[in-house]
Amino acid sequence: MTTYKGPPLKTDGLNVVVADPNLAPLRERFEADLPGRTTVNWPDPADTDAVVEALRDADVLVSGVCSPEMAAACKGLRLVHATGAGIDKIDVAALPPGTLVANTFHHEDSIAEYVVAATVLLRRGFLRQDAALRRGTWDSPAHSPGAPWPDALADTTIGFVGFGHIGARTWQRFRAFGARGVAVTRRGDVDAVAERLVWAGRVDDLDPLLDTADVVVVSVPLSERTTGLIGAPELARMGESAVLVNVGRGPVVDEDALYAALRDGVIGGAAIDVWYDYPASGNTGAPSRHAFHELPNVLMTPHSSGLTRQTFARRMSDITANIRRLAAGEGLHNIVERVR
């Protein structure tokens, strides 16, 4: 946790602009948690002109986005507080000197829940059985002797590609089912004994992880090194019954190779929550140039694994606590950038 201490900003209260739609349902609680004399503006995040106008007198921007146009309006801005972990959509270089940029997390519990649920759906064949029963077919060994026997989580090997907040919390959940775990990370500094993993290594050890894992959970951040980290050769190592769950970033897994592996039965299935194409605005748009939606062995979700009410209630508490600290000149938590 990084902190920064500075003087109180001003005596007549702070001007806070909230430009993230995810906090709108929590508006009443958000405002109640702020110090007295605070002014809070809630412009429509889709209305760029309204956001820019609100920022002209702002001390604090609460948003996961700050474009150069928005930053140019922020003459007196002191804090940009992202509403999640990522700050890649905040143009730090365009912000006024002295501006602090903070983030917040709390998505790991909800993402861990998603990973376990998605794994069960795919490993137990529930997607296939649901589709069959809607057609009147009882697709289970009890009624169809040729139907495959599904696998429970007990004795399943879970391979973690990335073992940060998300990976570690997800592994806690899987352990309760009697699964085994292995992990690779960029630094290779995971203590396998302390984490109760079979082994842990570096990303260079990805091949042996793929050779042994029944489920591969991808949660590494996107970087030059991790782009295309899992391609056709890596997917082929997983085996035809293995399942991949990607909650990191889409391009960590090669788009073409993943579609082909799922279409051709190279791997058993995939839960894809992070994608290759996103809507420029609104809520309409294909997530990939490939027809993943036509494949029966894919669970598709719209980057929603961490989006629960609990996630944003906890994030809101972090944000309002930091604003109170800023008003009092106290140390701020989770500072990731300070504009020089």
pTM (two decimals): 0.89
Domain parsing of the chain, residue ranges: 15-106+309-338, 108-300
Residue 281: the pLDDT is: 83
Q: List alpha helices for the chain, DSSP H.
A: 27-32, 48-55, 68-73, 108-123, 126-134, 165-175, 192-195, 206-212, 232-238, 255-263, 309-328
**CB-based contact 92:72 (threshold 8 Å):** no
pLDDT tens digits, 87-123: 989 999 999 999 999 999 999 999 999 999 999 999 9
- Does the fold of domain 108-300 match that of domain 15-106+309-338? yes
Do β-strands 269-272 and 79-81 pair in parallel, antiparallel, or remain unpaired? Answer: unpaired
Q: Specify the DSSP class assigned to residue 57.
A: T
Q: Name the CATH superfamily for 15-106+309-338.
A: NAD(P)-binding Rossmann-like Domain (3.40.50.720)
pLDDT digits (tens, 9 = 90+) for 10-64: 446 999 999 999 999 999 999 999 999 999 999 999 999 999 999 999 999 999 9
What pLDDT score was predicted for residue 6? 45
Report the chain's mean pLDDT, rounded to a whole number. 95
For 46, the token pair is: 């889709």
Q: Which of 195, 225, 208, 217 is nearest to 270 (CA)?
A: 217
At residue 12, the pLDDT reads 67
Q: What is the per-residue DSSP string for 75-107? A: TT--EEE-SSS--TTB-GGGSPTT-EEE-----
Q: What CATH class has 108-300?
A: alpha beta
- The number of residues in the chain equals 340
**Residues of the chain where predicted confidence (pLDDT) is lower than 70:** 1-12
Owner of token pair 């090997």 = 157
